[in-house]
């Protein structure tokens, strides 16, 4: 039997982080997604065990300030894409206001560290979200385009094909075929 799972990456990460912090008895306060304040000195051995267990989940602690800011940019972009109230906000304005830096600085830093532009990262994340929405099967392509603030289905389709190499309708056919095969088993 095969089942299809929908999950919220942010919620999963937060739960893993909370569980590991509590397991290692590290007094903390979660400030926001990807940001935790350690409230008291922690033994090196306990902290090493904590970071090792986080690594098993693909979670790592960032120590370089530039990398921290790039991660905040990524987190803010994901917040914008997954929040219906923010999807229509201009990303450059929102990023610079939320992170208290000029967009030019953020854009240059992001490109230097990731070797891609903020705009390209936004497109990739929007397409990933569109794929999740298509797999869930609850929205039409028109509704997905609207939800992700695309000017048209054609615009979404063009970006989808540029990122994935296939059209949204081809992607939906693949998903439907996999579901059919799973039901036959």
pLDDT of residue 109: 92
Residue 132: its H or E element: helix 118-136
**Residue 121 CB coordination number (10 Å):** 19
How far is the C-alpha of 140 from the C-alpha of 172, rounded, in Å? 10
How far is the C-alpha of 130 from the C-alpha of 119, rounded, in Å? 16
How far is the C-alpha of 14 from the C-alpha of 33, rounded, in Å? 7
pLDDT of residue 103: 94
pLDDT of residue 61: 80
Structural domains of the chain, with CATH: 8-61 (no CATH), 63-115 (no CATH), 121-184 (1.10.10.60)
pLDDT of residue 86: 79
How far is the C-alpha of 95 from the C-alpha of 107, rounded, in Å? 10
Written as six digits, the tokens of 140 are: 């039409």
Q: What is the CA radius of gyration of the chain?
A: 19
Q: pTM for the whole thing?
A: 0.69
pLDDT of residue 26: 84
Q: Which residue has the tokens 């990933």?
A: 128
pLDDT of residue 52: 87
Task: Specify which residues 55 forms β-bridges with.
Answer: none
Judged by DSSP in three states, 109 sits in helix
pLDDT of residue 40: 78
Mean pLDDT by 10 residues, the chain (185 residues): 73 84 84 74 80 84 81 91 83 92 93 92 94 88 91 93 93 87 77
pLDDT of residue 161: 94
Query: In angstroms, what CA-CA distances link 32 with 28, 58, 92, 96, 147?
Result: 12, 19, 21, 17, 25
């Amino acid at each position: 039997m095969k089942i299809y799972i929908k999950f919220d990456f942010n919620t999963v990460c937060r739960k893993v982080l909370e569980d590991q912090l509590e397991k290692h008895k590290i007094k903390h306060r979660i400030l926001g997604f990807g940001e935790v304040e350690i409230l008291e000195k922690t033994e090196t051995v306990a902290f090493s065990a904590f970071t090792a267990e986080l690594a098993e989940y693909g979670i790592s602690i960032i120590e370089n300030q530039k990398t921290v800011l790039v991660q905040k940019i990524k987190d803010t972009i994901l917040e914008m894409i997954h929040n219906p109230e923010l999807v229509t906000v201009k990303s450059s304005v929102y990023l610079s206001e939320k992170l208290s830096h000029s967009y030019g600085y953020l854009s240059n830093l992001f490109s230097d560290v990731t070797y891609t532009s903020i705009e390209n990262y936004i497109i990739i994340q929007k397409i990933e979200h569109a794929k999740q929405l298509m797999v869930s099967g609850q929205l039409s392509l028109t509704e997905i385009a609207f939800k992700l603030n695309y000017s048209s289905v054609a615009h979404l389709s063009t970006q989808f094909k540029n990122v994935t190499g296939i059209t949204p309708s081809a992607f939906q056919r693949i998903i439907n075929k996999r579901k059919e095969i799973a039901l036959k088993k």
